Amino acid sequence: MAERNLREISDEEEIWLTIRSVLTVTRVAVLFGTILVSEFFEEYYFLDLTVAIWSLIVGIPLFFFISVLILWGNKAFIPVSPQEQMTTILRPILERT
């Protein structure tokens, strides 16, 4: 972790970190917005469903979509150091001797 702080961050990675922070705040806002709308608008109807149900229909997939975007961006734009790759277990021990 210390070597990550010592190396210089590329422009691409810096832009991704900014976008990731916006996506993270948006994801939290979607979560709280979904909860608030589903609690306060139970008596209003839209297309034969309550607005509370619509908030769940829209909010839950949106939350997961933003989460997948964050995971994809981390994998695509944040490089993994060679030492971290070397310590990853490529072939786990299947049988103890």
Within a domain: 67: yes
How many domains, the chain? Answer: 1
Within a domain: 93: no
| pLDDT tens by residue, 34-87 | 999 999 988 888 888 889 999 999 999 999 999 999 999 988 888 776 666 566
Supply angle C-alpha 34, 35, 39, rounded to 5.
115
Structure tokens at 79: 């490089």
Q: Is the pLDDT assigned to residue 25 strictly greater than 70?
A: yes
* pLDDT at residue 33 in the model: 94
* pLDDT at residue 96 in the model: 66
* pLDDT at residue 61 in the model: 95
Q: Is the pLDDT assigned to residue 97 strictly greater than 70?
A: no
Taking alpha carbons only, the member of 71, 77, 78, 74 closest to residue 4 is 78
Within a domain: 51: yes
Within a domain: 59: yes
Q: Which residues contact 51 (CB under 8 A, 6 or more apart)?
A: 37, 41, 42, 44, 45
Domain that holds residue 16: 11-78
